[in-house]
Amino acid sequence: MISTARNWFIQNFTQEKYQQYLQILGREHPNSIKFRIAETPVFIPKSFEQQMLETTEYIISVIGMKGFKAMTDSSVPNYINKEGEGEHPHFMVFDFGIVQKEDGKLEPQLVEMQGFPSLFMYQLYQEDASREAFEIPEEYTQFLNGFDKEKVIKKMREIVIGNENPENVILLELYPQKQKTKIDFYYTQDHLNIPIVCLSEIKKQGNQLFYTKDGHDIPIHRIYNRLIWDEIIHNGDEFIRNQAQMIMEKDLQVHWVTHPSWFYRVSKFTLPFLRHPHIPETRFLSEYLEPPKDLDNYVLKPLFSFGGQGVKIHVTPYDFWSIDDPENYILQKKVDYASVIETPNSPVKAEIRLFYFWDENGGKPIATHNLARLTREEMIGVSYNNQSDWVGGSFALFEK
């Protein structure tokens, strides 16, 4: 998006540098990156960065309102025990599509948000690898608000571990070795020295949870939660569902980072309550008595799905009327991603995800770093972008 930086990158790009970039990213954990990595970062001008940050500040002001939890209570399923959820999530992410206005100017439009962690640790390696392989100029950084790699790791340690012994803090996921995001788990374990534990391995004795290490049961005091709860409840086998219900029982002596309820509270469910120039008009499907006349300008989304499952980009009246539970869907004004990231071939579209950390002991949430996803397709997720070049997982570089 910064034309001078974009032209410089393309002119100096070689396949040899790209292969070096991939090698650097994977050298500490070979064969652990299971998604396509794009050839280029996205160079973001200061004005665009500020528009994203101003939008997130507005959203955060809504999340911080006294009535926010009451407003979003109906989003949290009955199988999620709200006990110990706290007053706000420890982590949030905000996804912005890059769109082009009629006057040709580019602006961000919020697509989605989550009260849930992302690839926080893996993304720390993007800038280092890119700088080493592509010799990225020093006047650009992937970080915000004065953060750098070590400061992010320090903040993660404070939030995830707190005052506990790392042995009593776990990263919880379902079959972590099979997840596409497992590279992030490994880097998290490297830096925080906490074990990666599968949901299937959790035990309960009284009001305490345990995992097994070297033949001994180790008590779990804090859980860094990476479970997508909806996927477990609806798609897991009976044993896994029972495990999920077990660790959601009341009065357990365990602290969640971040509590599963925030995955639902800060989500697509929140979008209909927001009004901002950089947030597309969004309403619950249940609010409509009939389809909008310009239905082709909307996207139909289930409130809770993973990886874009169930999203209808080209919505028909049949789609509108065939939904049995319209309270669990939204209609969102379509965000038309602009193909503005120049490549040696055709230009590509991009989405920027800003990472926010929020201390549980007070203070405001703060933006730390980011990821980006590049595509030529209508769907932006990396799962849809593995058959082409100059697309896939990436990161944004901001002007210092």
* Structural domains of the chain, with CATH: 1-54+84-145+351-399 (no CATH), 148-257 (3.40.50.11290)
On whether the CB atoms of residues 53 and 364 are closer than 8 A, the answer is no
Cα(229)–Cα(304) distance, rounded to whole angstroms? 10
User: What's the whole-model pTM score?
Assistant: 0.95
Close Cβ partners of 382 (under 8 Å, ≥ 6 residues apart)? 35, 36, 180, 373, 392, 393
Task: Quickly count: other Cβ atoms within 10 Å of residue 272's Cβ.
Answer: 15
Return the SS3 of 297.
Answer: helix
The pLDDT of residue 310: 84
Say which residue, 307 or 256, is predicted with more confidence. Answer: 256
Cα(392)–Cα(64) distance, rounded to whole angstroms? 34
Give me 291's structure tokens. Answer: 């389809």
The pLDDT of residue 88: 94
- Residue tagged 């396949």 (tokens): 15
Main-chain phi, psi angles of 44, to 5 degrees: -105, 125
Distances (CA, A) of 355 to 93, 133, 164, 352: 5, 25, 24, 10
- Whose CA is closest to 96, among 110, 79, 85? 110
Please check the confidence at residue 385 and state whether its pLDDT lies above 70. no
Please check the confidence at residue 384 and state whether its pLDDT lies above 80. no
List, edge to edge, every strand of the sheet that includes 106-114. Answer: 106-114, 91-100, 349-357, 366-375, 392-394
What is the tally of helices (H) and strands (E) in the chain? Answer: 11, 18
Give me 384's structure tokens. Answer: 């849809």
Digit-coded pLDDT (tens) for 324-375: 999 999 999 999 999 999 999 999 999 999 999 999 887 899 999 999 999 9
On whether the CB atoms of residues 171 and 196 are closer than 8 A, the answer is yes
The pLDDT of residue 383: 56
Look at the chain and count its residues: 400
pLDDT band at 292 (very low <50, low <70, confident <90, very high): very high
The pLDDT of residue 231: 82
On whether the CB atoms of residues 379 and 391 are closer than 8 A, the answer is no
Digit-coded pLDDT (tens) for 277-287: 999 999 999 99
The pLDDT of residue 306: 61
Close Cβ partners of 101 (under 8 Å, ≥ 6 residues apart)? 107
Report the mean per-residue pLDDT for the chain.
Answer: 94
Cα(18)–Cα(39) distance, rounded to whole angstroms? 6
Q: What is the chain's alpha carbon radius of gyration, rounded to the nearest angstrom?
A: 21
pLDDT band at 226 (very low <50, low <70, confident <90, very high): very high
